[in-house]
Amino acid sequence: MAEDHPDRNRRKLYGRRKGPKLSQRQAGLRRTLLSALAYVPGGDPLTQFPNSVREVWLEVGFGAGEHLVWQAAQHPNVGLIGAEPYQMGMAKLLTKLEETNLNNVRLYEGDGSDILQALPDASLGRFFLLFPDPWPKTRHHKRRFLQMEMLDQLARVLQPGAELRFATDDKSYLRYALERLMTHPGFDWLAKGPGDWKNRPADWPPTRYETKAIKGPPTFLRFARRAKIAA
């Protein structure tokens, strides 16, 4: 692996888990549907999906779950793991899933790094981090998900050629993410021109945040895990 970057091994802190009080329906879905779809970190993730699933993707911080549900519906042979510590976000996704017949989604109500640390090498076909909290204050940058140690984990668990997809509307986080992704020896930027990061790809559906709460022009980054990583 490359030389140590200054933010490797920093402690990671994340935002709140609880928000507004859940409705009776939402609370019920957390007790029933979330239990049925719960993902347990550890071991081969394929064993937690139906036999028809041939590949596993992970989305960390899925918000209200629009993107996750769309990807699961479009790729029935892919298992989608969604990690979200915020209870209301999880409740909103459960409401969407209750109205579908999708059987290729598994959910983890907690820190996505728990999943990454427990995954076997080269076990993911794609990773999504879309419009995460930018933690704009400098003293809070250590809370940002894309730390160098997290990229180490992603390089380990992503299959060669697998995509890491990142989106943000925060210029500070964009610079921060590009600095780390371009420095890390495990990833190659797939962009060939400005349109590749200014325009949302066709297989990258918009989220509620992107359509209603966005603060500036979004940027869509696609990086591929290198086939070989320099020592």
Along the chain (231 residues), what's the average pLDDT of each consecutive run of 10 residues?
Answer: 46 52 82 94 97 97 94 98 91 93 96 96 98 84 92 98 96 95 97 94 87 83 91 64
DSSP letter, residue 95:
H
Residue 99 lies in a domain: yes
- Residue 6 domain-assigned (yes or no): no
Any domain includes 4: no
Predicted model pTM: 0.89
Residue 2 lies in a domain: no
> Can you list the alpha helix ranges (DSSP code H) found in 32-77?
33-37, 66-74
- Identify whether 14 is part of a domain: no
What pLDDT does residue 137 have?
85
- In a domain, residue 11? The reply is no
Question: Looking at the annotation, which residues are catalytic?
Answer: 133
Q: What share of the chain is helix, strand, coil (3-state, %, to 5)?
A: 35, 20, 45
The answer to the question of residue 52 being in a domain is: yes
| Beta-carbon count within 10 A of 106 CB | 23
Supply the pLDDT for residue 207. 83
Has residue 182 been placed in a domain?
yes
Q: In what order do the strands lie in the sheet with 78-83?
A: 105-108, 78-83, 55-60, 124-130, 158-168, 219-225, 187-189
Distance (Å, rounded) from C-alpha 208 to C-alpha 219?
16
Q: Can you give the pLDDT at residue 12?
A: 42
Q: How many domains does the chain have?
A: 1
Q: What pLDDT does 13 receive?
A: 37
What's 199-230 look like in SS3?
CCCCCCCCCHHHHHHCCCCCEEEEEEECCCCC
The domain in which residue 55 lies consists of 24-225
**Other C-beta atoms within 10 Å of 186: how many?**
22
pLDDT 10s digits, 13-54:
344 566 677 788 888 888 899 999 999 999 999 999 999 999
Dist. CA 129–CA 184, nearest whole Å: 17
CATH code of residue 190: 3.40.50.150
